Amino acid sequence: METRNSGQYCMPRAVCAAIWAASAARTCSRVNGPPTNLVSSGSPKTSQILSWSASLQRLNPMRSLFKKYSAIHLFYIFPGARRIRRHARPAAKNGGGSNLVKFTAMNSKRKASDFEVEFGGFEKLMPFRIKNVLMVASLYDSFLLADDDRLNEALFGEMLDSGPRAAPKITRVASSEQALEKLERGSFDLVIAMIQVGETDMTDFFRKLKAGRPELPVVLLSFNIQDINNIPEGARQLADGVYLWNGDTRIFAAIINLIEDERNFEHDAEVGVQAVLLVEDNIKFYSSYLPVIYTELLKQTHIVMAEELNPAKKTLRLRARPKVLFCSTYDEAWHIYSNYKENLLGVISDIEYPMNGVCSPEAGLELTRRIKAENPDMPVLLQSSNAKFSVQAGALGASFMYKAAPDLSKQLRGFILRYFGFGDFIFTDKNGSEIARASDMHTMLKLLQMVPLDSILYHAGRNHFSKWLFARTEFETAYNIRPKRISEFGNPEGLRKYLIETLHQFIYKTQLGTVLKFDRRMFDDTTPFVKIGAGSIGGKARGLAFVDFLLSKSGDLETRWDGVTVMVPNTIVLATDVFDFFIEQNNLDSLMNENHSDEKVAEIFEKSRLPDYVTRDLEAVIDKLRGPLAVRSSSLLEDSKTQPFAGVYKTYMLPNNNPDPARRLAELEQAVKFVYASVFSREARAYRKLNPLIIDEEKMAVIIQQVVGRPHPSGRFYPAFAGVMQSYNYYPVPPLGAEDPIAHVALGLGKTIVEGATALRFSPAYPHNLHQFSTISDFLANSQKKFIALNIAGPSAPPRYDEEPALTHAGIAAAEEDGSMELLGSTYSSEDDRIYDGIANPGPRLITFAPILKNEMLPLADILKTLAALGKEAMGTNIEMEFACDYDPKTGAAGFNILQMRPMVSRSPVKKVTLRDINQENVFCLCPQALGNGAHRDIFDLIYVIPENFNPLKTMDITAEIGELNARLGAEGRPYIIIGPGRWGSSDPLLGIPVKWHHISHSRIIVEAAYGDFVVDPSYGTHFFHNVTSLGIGYFTIHQTAADSFIKWERLKAEKPFTELAHIRHLRFERPLDIRVDGSEGRGAAAFT
């Protein structure tokens, strides 16, 4: 007799009429009011298919939910019935009763991954929200309920606890006419009508209201039970609920929550949201009981949510709180149970209510008997005003609660904690004696390794583990555990291992891609990303957190390459409010306006105290993290798109190997303080002066990470290699294009690259093309000769502000002794003047990366290409990334660690600048590889390193002379152009001039030039270069003499020096120089005028 129509079901008129008659012939009468709802269903039994994935990758946590529905859920709702629906509309006229509602079938093709976006899909839960409430009440009733402000305030407090939302707005009207008028003009989600509103005919009012908006929920509210007993039958059937006001304003929040739960549950159940089934027909009781249930459920949800340390995720997860499914009859209750048994935490039921259309004094017992026969472990709480039922309830395996008990709320709380999974997980033996209890996931993971196997088997066989996870809204993990059967494990210990691995993946997955609040109890060496304090984590840490998030949302990226895991090192960040507290607590504010030397500032900071709570947190860090630590700056302005501040602030590497934990803590605190002190350094001050900032706008966060690498018997600690990759190539050499990423890599710590020492340059797009090594002599002369490592042979001296005693430099022979050349080395044969890949042959070793770039022992090029594209797309601009790779030669496994990702400063010109009309005869400097854009006609000064006086061993002296002239010109407000050999800003004085920013802070154009045989590759992998270009300073690179690339030294020598020092010559001109940089073509020129 059923009619199928596009996945929907309608009930024939005859069947409707029969059931309508049964519902009308009610025989159950109570003083507290008659039952109002009746539901019946001929729907097929719900079938739920839960898929399970047995294979869990340690570094590739599950990213999809496991529950899918394959069956069609049927809801036949009759006049007066409570509706559980998402979209309801009147049936066709020939479908039977006028109020018959039909529901669309649940979409069995919907994937859990549809919900998986930034916060795991929780933001898509509860799509239906009540935002505007129309209250129809006389002026007197409105006064009794409370004035607008008090009611709205109470409602706001209750609704805020139930999830991220604004409290519904309440609009008052005093008559049905005004209500209908408001509904015509405005949008409302709920109507609450007092039973006595003047001469209003409620049946006629509801009929008119439903005719225009049949889906609009309407509830009746009364001050006394007698008025409820006098509600016209027509109004009762049209209402979506009847409630009694007993002075508790929480009833309004309960009504709103209840309607939202009923409308949203079918949608939310698809991703595992749980519910409590409440069966009660006593209006007086449920009106006071519903607020109590919601209060307890929300309170317990908040308590377990405290484990979710990220505030944003915590707030969103409140949307997944357990819902309440409320009904008043046996038939309705069984229908809900049958369809949603997999989503029910438990059942709370009265004992006497309608069953098959007739009031049954033991309907609740029969419902319990039927549920327990199918699922003995389903928690059921029976409640009655007759205490005699406690014995029968116990015999059925149900709990019992006496409705008149003075501690009703306390008993309800106890039941929820014990049976719904909200409280501690209590491991018991077969006799019920407590063995241990777990209050959170970390404790649970530890106890699973310790408690007797019999206890684990007992709880697993009763779905206690999955129920505990469901209460914490961890549906994915719960659904992964629940379908497993003990018999599936050949050895019972296999179950223990499975639970441990599954919960380990849960902890990893929930933390991945998220910045968590530091918790000393939960922190260990597997915690991915946490912050101490409540402030900002700063620019550098923000970039790391973004990369961590990208990896967590990029499918299989972390394990895409066999044997290689792509990751962000576990990170602890001291937030900027810790810096503020430190400055204020130690009265250091005055340093912002004082001009102390760096050494003096460092001394002051070293004697100052960190906040006590930070010291205690750092003690936990030292206790859990063994091995070298990196302490890095992460200021508010660092790594921004316009002010990168790269390398301006301090970074320290700590061996962290002193046997005395107090010494290790003191060294860590000292490094943190020195990072704070670097905010007030000369270099930082000079850099900030070129930005529209004041010093107190800058705040410092600090990153603490374990250093990537491995220890060697020599006492050295370092990664297999480290590098810097840029997605944009400033100086492409064919076949490379500007959009082909470029990388610099070196053996050992990345300090080699970012400070301008020798490294290998290649493009991941063309890994076999090494332009810097076009000949064998290039390899011999320009390949890396030294690397930087940490000395961990024994406790080293603590760090000083400008010194890291633990850092050591070693030669390539030392790397071979350590066994670190397998991936990177080649061998030169003098006999046939050839270079052979690998280190099998005798001869001098060279760092060529040939085993990686040519023989692909490690897919470095593909990894860098992929990350360059991903980072560029995600950040919306070109990016620069620092990385380090650890490699185990025994297993071949590698860990590719992303240490930093920041936006590159765009080289796009603001306006077109041309070199075509410049006076070619007066040009003394022409550059085919220039960065920047603009025409400069206000520069009268030029400084250059005298070529004939240049000695690579005197670069430190040259730096001092440049700093002296820079200070003098800066005081006079005179910008200048500076020309010098090799790499500006290199930490290796043999490769260029090791200036810091404050040495050249007033320069407008910087030129790197070849001085005879002193030719060094450009410095654009360094922090110094990144900062210079970000400030819009023109940067010329002239490494050969040609028609389009030269410096006319004779013309410069012919000019009379304004100042001449031992190594530096300063020229001043009467007329300004004509300096132009064409950013669109990458060309620059400087000419006399």
Q: Per residue in 138-151, pLDDT tens?
A: 877 766 665 444 55
Q: What pLDDT, in 10s, does the model give residues 661-683?
A: 999 999 999 999 999 999 988 88
Query: Is residue 115 pLDDT above 60, yes or no?
Result: no
Hey, which of 629-638, 706-715, 1029-1038 has the most confident mean pLDDT?
706-715
- Strands (DSSP E) along 21-75, which ranges? 48-50, 67-69
Neighbours of 801 (CB within 10 A): 20
Phi-psi domain of 920 (left: phi exceeds 0; alpha: psi -120 through 50; beta: other): alpha
* Calculated CA dihedral for residues 975, 977, 983, 984, nearest 10 degrees: -10
Instruction: Clarify whether residues 696 and 772 are in a common domain.
Output: no
Instruction: Clarify whether residues 809 and 748 are in a common domain.
Output: yes
Quote the pLDDT of residue 116.
40
| Residue 519 forms part of a structural domain | no
**pLDDT band for position 408 (50/70/90)?**
confident
CA distance 751 to 746: 9
Query: Is residue 635 pLDDT above 50, yes or no?
Result: yes
| Residue 44 forms part of a structural domain | no
Instruction: Clarify whether residues 756 and 787 are in a common domain.
Output: yes
Listed residue (752, 719, 802, 760) closest to 988, CA to CA? 752
Q: Which of 679, 707, 735 is the last residue of a domain?
A: 707
| Residue 23 forms part of a structural domain | no
Place of tokens 């990896």: 551
Residue type, position 1007, single letter? V
Query: Is residue 7 pLDDT above 60, yes or no?
Result: no
Listed residue (53, 109, 43, 104) closest to 76, CA to CA? 43
- Specify which residues 572 forms β-bridges with: 530, 704
| Residue 692 forms part of a structural domain | yes
Q: What pLDDT, in 10s, does the model give residues 984-1006?
A: 888 777 778 988 888 998 999 99
Phi, psi of 884 (to 5 degrees): -145, 145
- Specify which residues 886 forms β-bridges with: 895
Segment 565-585 shows an average pLDDT of 94
Q: What pLDDT, in 10s, does the model give residues 190-203?
A: 999 988 776 778 89
Instruction: Clarify whether residues 459 and 565 are in a common domain.
Output: no
Q: In what order do the strands lie in the sheet with 651-654?
A: 516-517, 529-532, 571-574, 700-706, 629-635, 651-654
Q: Which of 648, 681, 707 is the last residue of a domain?
A: 707
- Angle made by CA atoms 1037, 1042, 1047, in degrees to the nearest 5: 55
CATH of the domain at 687: 3.30.1490.20
Which segment of 39-48, 215-224, 932-941 scores lowest on mean pLDDT? 39-48
Please give the residue that has the higher pLDDT: either 192 or 60: 192
Q: Is the dihedral of CA 94, 81, 264, 63 positive or negative?
A: negative
**pLDDT band for position 236 (50/70/90)?**
confident
Instruction: Clarify whether residues 475 and 623 are in a common domain.
Output: no
Q: Hey, what are 816's tokens?
A: 């071979």
Q: Hey, what are 393's tokens?
A: 């309830």
Element of type H or E holding 990: none
Instruction: Clarify whether residues 415 and 434 are in a common domain.
Output: no
Please give the residue that has the higher pLDDT: either 80 or 492: 492
Quote the pLDDT of residue 172.
87
Quote the pLDDT of residue 1047.
94
Q: What pLDDT, in 10s, does the model give residues 322-358?
A: 999 999 999 999 999 999 998 899 999 999 999 999 9
Mean pLDDT of the chain: 80
Q: Are 280 and 289 in contact (CB under 8 A)?
A: yes
Which segment of 148-152, 298-302, 368-372, 524-528 scores lowest on mean pLDDT? 148-152
Instruction: Clarify whether residues 316 and 395 are in a common domain.
Output: yes
Q: Which of 903, 938, 972 is the last residue of a domain?
A: 903
Q: What DSSP string runs through 739-783?
A: TS-EEEEESS-THHHHTT---EEEBTTBTT--GGGSSHHHHHHHS
Residue type, position 483, single letter? P
Segment 262-277 shows an average pLDDT of 90
DSSP three-state, residue 919: coil
Name residues whose C-beta falls within 8 Å of residue 109's C-beta, 6 or more positions apart in sequence.
none
**pLDDT band for position 532 (50/70/90)?**
very high
Query: Is residue 459 pLDDT above 80, yes or no?
Result: yes
Q: What is the pTM of this model?
A: 0.64
Q: Report the length, in residues, of the chain.
A: 1089
Instruction: Clarify whether residues 411 and 446 are in a common domain.
Output: no
Q: What DSSP string runs through 298-358?
A: HHHHHHHHTT---HHHHHHHGGGSPEEEEESSHHHHHHHHHHHGGGEEEEEE-SSEEETTE
**What domain range is 1012 assigned to?**
920-1087
Quote the pLDDT of residue 489.
79
* Count of domains for the chain: 5
Instruction: Clarify whether residues 695 and 736 are in a common domain.
Output: no
Q: Report, in angstroms and rounded to the nearest whole number, the Rg of the chain calculated over CA atoms.
A: 37
Percent of the chain with pLDDT strictly greater than 90: 44
Instruction: Clarify whether residues 482 and 551 are in a common domain.
Output: no
Listed residue (811, 631, 847) closest to 722, CA to CA? 847
Q: Are 529 and 552 in contact (CB under 8 A)?
A: no
Segment 559-575 shows an average pLDDT of 93
Hey, which of 435-449, 469-483, 879-893, 900-914 has the most confident mean pLDDT?
879-893
Instruction: Clarify whether residues 692 and 821 are in a common domain.
Output: no
Quote the pLDDT of residue 556.
76
CATH of the domain at 178: 3.40.50.2300
Q: Are 355 and 330 in contact (CB under 8 A)?
A: yes
* Calculated CA dihedral for residues 201, 206, 212, 218, nearest 10 degrees: 140
| Residue 54 forms part of a structural domain | no
Query: Is residue 526 pLDDT above 60, yes or no?
Result: yes
Query: Is residue 568 pLDDT above 90, yes or no?
Result: yes
Which segment of 249-253, 480-484, 857-861 scores lowest on mean pLDDT? 480-484
| Residue 309 forms part of a structural domain | yes
Instruction: Clarify whether residues 534 and 593 are in a common domain.
Output: yes
Quote the pLDDT of residue 107.
32
Quote the pLDDT of residue 1022.
58
Quote the pLDDT of residue 144.
63
Segment 205-226 shows an average pLDDT of 89
Query: Is residue 655 pLDDT above 80, yes or no?
Result: yes
Q: What pLDDT, in 10s, does the model give residues 590-634?
A: 887 788 899 999 999 999 999 999 999 999 999 999 999 999 999
| Residue 29 forms part of a structural domain | no
Name residues whose C-beta falls within 8 Å of residue 512's C-beta, 6 or more positions apart in sequence.
61, 528, 548, 551, 552
| Residue 521 forms part of a structural domain | no
**pLDDT band for position 260 (50/70/90)?**
very high
